[in-house]
Amino acid sequence: MMKSKRFMKLLTSPIHFHTAMIEQIPVAVFTGQEMIGSGKILEITDFAVKIGDEFYVREACTFKYAV
């Protein structure tokens, strides 16, 4: 199976987050080099992204496409 062209690319704009949520695209969450979470986005606010039961602060984390 080939990886998509977006695999591990950063989500950098609000449209990236909303598209990933609507299309149910899994994302990985990083603090520095450490992956601290992954899954499908359930909720988005101006300050945080909810994946599973966890909220991740947008300013403190990096979000990348997991597929």
Coil, strand or helix at 15:
helix
Per-residue pLDDT, 55: 98
Per-residue pLDDT, 5: 85
Convert the pLDDT of each residue in 9-57 to its tens digit.
999 999 999 999 999 999 999 999 999 999 999 999 999 999 999 999 9
Report which of residues 5 and 32 the model is more confident about: 32
DSSP state letter for 56 = E
Nearest CA to 4 out of 15, 20, 17 is that of: 20
Q: In the structure, what pLDDT confidence band is assigned to residue 1 with cuts at 50, 70 and 90?
A: low
- Domains of the chain, each with CATH number or no CATH: 14-65 (2.30.30)
Other Cβ atoms closer than 10 A to 10: 12
